[in-house]
Structure 1
Amino acid sequence: MALAVLHALDSARTQWYHVTAIVIAGMGFFTDAYDLFCISTVSKLLGRLYYYKPGTGKPGKLPQDVNNFVIGVALVGTLSGQLVFGWLGDKLGRKKVYGITLIMMVICAICSGLSFGSSAGSVMTTLCFFRFWLGFGIGGDYPLSATIMSEYANKMTRGMFIAAVFAMQGVGIIFAGLVSMTLSKIFLDLYPAPAFNAIPVDYSNVMSTQPQADYLWRIVLMLGAFPALATFYWRMKMPETGRYTALIEGNAKQAAADMGRVLDIEIQDEQDKLAQFKAANDYSLFSGEFLRRHGKHLIGTTTTWFLLDIAFYSQNLTQKDIFPVMGLTQKDVEVNALREMFETSRAMLVVAFFGTFPGYWFTVFFIEKLGRFKIQLVGFFMMSLFMGIIGYKYDDLKNNKYMFATLYGLTFFFANFGPNSTTFVLPAELFPTRIRSTCHALSAAAGKAGAMVGAFGVQNYTLDGKVKEIQKAMIFLAITNMLGFFFTFLVTETKGRSLEEISGEDGSSDRDAGTQMTGTNTSATTKTTY
């Protein structure tokens, strides 16, 4: 049995409001990516400013434990925020908590740049405190944006719309590199300094780390507040999704009115059918019925996202340490602080623009043609292949920076034209409305647990730029990606089917897994009444 409001949403033509919703939700992910990854462009600068040891003749460097926390504390906050806001999204409604995430992101991005203290340790402590809560707000954006977009979209373009929201992460990564590169170039032109080998040892850090650079990293972090602030008004004007209003709040009339107001469709309210629909799906996350219907799916979405993010965040957060080995940036003893930040940001921008960014949009354009399942399988396999080549042929590749950069960029491309996009899409489609946000949050939190493995574990292998350690890290990541390939078989294809058919809420039973994986549209056999 299907309700008219659900059928109308599934069959509604693409309209301007769909585009508006993509932009509103997508700007959240733009901000998320900028805030999470801009720290990589400034972390070496923080070491030079606050951890220089006089008389060494070497630039200051963040201690390994401090570096791990500065880089990884936002991920801990993100994991926590995903679980809290994902649960609240099902209990209180998607819209009611959607604005809170933006407010937290705006305030904490600004406060991160204003981090204070009387010593290096106290500044880093303050910075980590605000970045934890910044991550907490970012975490809420994952389940809420995915759920809202999936519940607004029609069944033929749903995957494309959700992927388009997530693709704004790629734009955010580009801007993290672009903003850091531009500002560091401006500061470099205003405050030039000689290289280390041109100045006495005792004055090396003073001369090669311009004191004005203390303003630079703060400006970079604070600029992350503006995209979120710009979309706050429009996010607050979005109505609650029709599916939540009808299926969770039990108000079919209000759902019809809300969706009729923002979409050019006529919807009948069917309050009499609603009680029957809800009764057929009245089971909780911790129930045998959920385990029977969706246990395998939840294991699939959590494990694949966990394994993917080990590789994805290891790649992104350790670029600054791998770039000098690849020959894309100079060694720290050869350049001053602002020049080092400029070169790191420039290399990050190039890799993102030619590798990361295209992968996201390939997914947007092909997800409804190829399906989620095939894209995820191919992505995991190609990531494993290219990382394996980099690992096993590292001694040869480190002397050929163009080949190294090409293979390294291809790992980013297939991460995004692959599991980094599909692991975000699938949890927003596979689970029933009453626990959709929670299940997406659990899947995303598993991903952030993988990201923490990358930030606190894999990053330690690359921190000193040692060839053998980077080689080991690449081989390890190749293995995790191949595991992700095999765990993908626990999820099923969702393209071309309504959310209620996928979750079984409309009374239809799951089709044979092999049939679903081929991308066959089985909706024609489903009996529905309107």
Structure 2
Amino acid sequence: MSSNSISVLNALDNARTQWYHVTAIVIAGMGFFTDAYDLFCISTVSKLLGRLYYYDPSTGKPGKLPHSINNLVIGVALVGTLLGQLVFGYLGDKLGRKKVYGITLILMVLCAICSGLSFGYGRKGVMGTLCFFRFWLGFGIGGDYPLSATIMSEYANKKTRGAFIAAVFAMQGVGIIFAGLVSMIISKIFLSNYGRPPFLKEHVFSTEPEADYVWRVVLMLGALPALLTYYWRMKMPETGRYTALIEGNAKQAASDMGRVLDIEIQADHDKITQFNAANEYKLFSHEFVRRHGRHLIGTMTTWFLLDIAFYSQNLTQKDIFPTMGLTSKAESVSALREMFETSRAMFVIALLGTFPGYWFTVAFIEKIGRFTIQLVGFFMMSVFMLIMGVKYDYLRTEDHKWTFATLYGLTFFFANFGPNSTTFVLPAELFPTRVRSTCHAFSAASGKAGAMIGAFGLQNYTQDGNVHKIKKAMIFLAFTNILGFFCTFLVTETKGRSLEEISGEDGGYGETQMTGKRPGSRSENHEDDSRNYG
């Protein structure tokens, strides 16, 4: 049975863009803003933690987190995120998007506050407590990935769905900017009030006692945006698709969506019963693999390969930041000054390199399509990383610093105006309602597995700063991006079609696969247009 014959689904697909769409973007987007802030703000305070808790007077040098402790402090949230994605993604399909959404938010608020209140006996106690709460913070953040994407896709109309989902994800860029900005402001406030006079040479690389408050304030502020949106999240009704197609409550779905759309919608109970009867196959059944196995492999592999490269970008930060005059050597500045400079560098890179790409995706995803944006993004990332790898010695010199910085910024731009955005959008559109959250969770968790390889596998390989190793790592990343380019052909274009048409729930599954038409081909687009508009 076609989804067009079911009133509530037809109303959602063809609704004009209105205030409730904007509200949904803001509510779901603020979750992603919080996620990004919480995950990335730790990078601005990690050096400060080393100064505070690992200073050895006998060395005459600033304290520094041991490599293993640094990996643990930064990486434990990624592990929590991966597990949270799997658990909450599954629960989102079993218990409902709205109910599980509230749980993740409460967990994020509590753990952000507790991370800043980390106390213990000695540095091991503080680091252990911090890691414990950072893990559970990541666990809550993980749930936000599949739930935010699924909720937005199920609320949106089919003409602007990709832009709406991309806009939710674009709040990640805003969160990264604010992680740098807030850390910069807090450190500057304390630096101005408590910092050592710069003319006292014996205090040049000292650690201000008040610095112990700074990292705590930065981490705890991550609870604020999540707390402010909790009321509005709980006020949102369950998505009409979940209520109708999973709970089987046609009357409630019609009532909820009729209220937010401000129209009268028929319940269509019998039609929904027939519709569900035609889509009863289970996750990972033979029927699921036949219908959606290729797409799931495509979304998992592309997100995995993308995050290896995306989370490896700090391989060259140690050269980029000083070259651009954004940071100084640790021995020449105090602890708060070092944090200020690190936060400033993160803010500048995010604002100029990371942030624009997200919103280019929002602007062009419904014009160019997900498939093309992902292909171009992977290809351009591969080109820029290959150039940086082959010419690393040449680019890191003072004479070519602007070329180096430009290539570095363009890599981030095409990651975000490319696969970093589209790998979030596609899993929210390709799969059936009953398993949409779970399949998005598998794809996102695959990405976090890639992130851990990039952030720690390659970091461990290049931790000695060996130029030859960094060059090999950058060339390897160029290769992973080319693999991502080819794995993109496992997915299909989704723009302009209803979710049920894309997933085959309306009975039209397999047209692209059976006809052999490549995604985005001229004939396929023509057929899509005829189905959508007449």
Q: How high is the TM-score relative to the length of structure 1? A: 0.95
Partner residue of 1:414? 414
> Which residue is 1:402 aligned to?
402
> How does 1:201-212 map onto structure 2 within 5 Å?
208-212=206-210
Q: Residues 291 and 509 of structure 2 are in contact (CA less than 8 Å); yes or no, is this contact kept in structure 1?
A: no
Q: Does 1:158 align with 2:161?
A: yes
CA distance 1:526–1:117, change in 2 (3 Å): same
1:505 partnered with 2:505: yes
Give the aligned partner of residue 250 of structure 2: 252
Q: Quick one: distance in 1 between partners of 2:223 and 2:318?
A: 24
1:395 CA displacement: 1.0
**Structure 2 unaligned blocks of 5 or more:** none
SS across alignment from 1:208: coil
1:145 equivalenced with 2:148 (yes/no): yes
CA 1:195–1:285 in structure 2 vs 1: closer, same or farther (change >3 Å)?
farther
Structure 1 residue 100: Cα displacement: 0.6
Aligned ranges 1:444-455 → 2 under 5 Å: 444-455=444-455
**Which of residues 19, 24, 29 is equivalent to 2:32?**
29
Q: Which residue of 1 aligns with 2:312?
A: 314
**Shift of the alpha carbon at 1:391?**
1.2
1:256-295 alignment to 2 at 5 Å?
256-295=254-293
| Partner residue, 1:180 | 183
Residues 116 and 328 (structure 1), Cα distance of their counterparts in 2 relative to 1, 3 Å cut? same
CA distance in 2, matches of 1:212, 1:365: 44
Query: Per-residue CA shift, 1:454-502, capped at 9, x if unaligned?
Result: 2221222454555444333322222211111111110100000000000
Q: Is the 8 A contact 1:308 1:450 kept in 2?
A: yes
Alpha-carbon distance in structure 1 between the residues aligned to 2:519 and 2:257: 30
**Equivalences for 1:425-464 in 2 at 5 Å?**
425-463=425-463
Asked if the contact 2:81–2:141 (Cα under 8 Å) also holds between the matched residues in 1, the reply is yes
Which residue is equivalent to 2:369? 371
The alpha carbon displacement at 1:190 in A equals 1.6
Aligned pair partner of 2:138 in 119, 127, 135: 135
Distance 1:383 1:295, change over 3 A: same
CA distance in 2, matches of 1:471, 1:88: 43
Distance, in Å, in 2 between the alignment partners of 1:246 and 1:214 is: 52
Contact 1:195 1:334 in 2 (8 A): no
Moved over 6 A (4+): 194-197
**Residues of 2 paired with 1:267 and 1:381: CA distance?**
45
Q: Please give the per-residue CA displacement for 1:63-85, whole angstroms capped at 9, x wherever unaligned.
A: 11111111100000001110011
Q: Which amino acid aligns with 1:238?
A: M
1:10-49 alignment, distance < 5 Å: 10-49=13-52
> More displaced, 494-503 or 477-486?
477-486
Out of 86, 90, 93, the position equivalent to 2:93 is 90
Aligned equivalents of 1:60, 1:464: Cα separation in 2: 18
Residue identity in the other structure for 2:206: S
CA distance in 2, matches of 1:481, 1:191: 46
Aligned residues of 2:371 and 2:519 also touching (Cα < 8 A): no
Distance (Å, rounded) in 2 between the aligned partners of 1:389 and 1:121: 42
Is 1:55 aligned to residue 58 of structure 2? Answer: yes
What is the root-mean-square deviation of aligned Cα atoms in Å? Answer: 2.1
| Contact 1:194 1:208 (C-alpha < 8 Å) held by counterparts | no
Which of the numbers 514, 520, 523 marks the counterpart of 2:525? 520
TM-score by length of 2: 0.94
Task: Tell me by how many angstroms 1:327 deviates.
Answer: 4.8
Q: Is the 8 A contact 2:86 2:445 kept in 1?
A: yes
Structure 1 range deviating more: 308-317 or 354-363: 308-317
Q: Distance in 2 between matches of 1:26 and 1:297?
A: 26
Q: 1:114 to 1:220 in 2, by over 3 A?
A: same
User: Which residue in 2 is equivalent to 1:348?
Assistant: 346
Alpha-carbon separation, structure 2, partners of 1:373 and 1:379: 10
Residue 389 of structure 1, CA deviation = 1.1
Aligned partners of 1:180 and 1:342 also within 8 Å: yes
Aligned length: 524
Q: Distance in 1 between matches of 2:21 and 2:123?
A: 47
Residues 328, 401 of structure 1: 8 Å contact kept: no
Q: Deviations over 1:105-156 (max 9, x none)?
A: 1000010011111111111111000000000000000000100000000100
Helix, strand or coil at the partner of 1:283: coil
Q: CA deviation at 1:198?
A: 3.1
Contact 1:29 1:141 in 2 (8 A): yes
Deviations 1:31-53 (A, max 9, x none): 00000001111111111111112
Q: Determine the structure 2 residue equivalent to 1:78.
A: 81
What residue ranges of structure 1 are gaps of 5+ in the alignment?
A: none
My pick for the range that moved more, 253-262 or 267-276, is 267-276
